[in-house]
Amino acid sequence: MVPVAAIGLAISAYHYLVERFPTLETSVCDIRTPCTIVWVWRFHYVSIPLMAGSGFALIATLLLAAGPERNTRAAVPT
């Protein structure tokens, strides 16, 4: 699950950069609602992509801190 969180973090970082630097926008975004529109702007730096990126970073950190899953079943003799 950590790779999924890392992918989400990368997409959030890209979207945050597109919001801050509109010249980075590609033709993928819609003309009616471009990716450069900032819907939420709090404390002069917090926007929706930053909130999403923070969530993905927290998820990845917690997954890495939890460590690998341990097999708690007893070995079954054959």
Residue 78 lies in a domain: no
Residue 46 lies in a domain: yes
- The predicted-structure confidence for 42-71, as pLDDT tens digits, reads as follows 888 888 889 999 999 999 999 999 887 776
Structural domains counted in the chain: 1
Q: Is this model's pTM higher than 0.85 or not?
A: no
Look at residue 72 and tell me whether its pLDDT is greater than 80.
Answer: no
Angle at 53 between CA 23 and CA 46, to 5 degrees: 70
Residue 39 lies in a domain: yes
pLDDT at 52: 92
Distance in angstroms (rounded) separating the CA atoms of residues 30 and 53: 22
Residue 28 lies in a domain: yes
HSE-up (13 A, CA, CB side) for residue 48: 9
pLDDT (average), residues 6-34: 82
pLDDT at 57: 95
Domain range for 34 is: 2-66
Look at residue 74 and tell me whether its pLDDT is greater than 70.
Answer: no
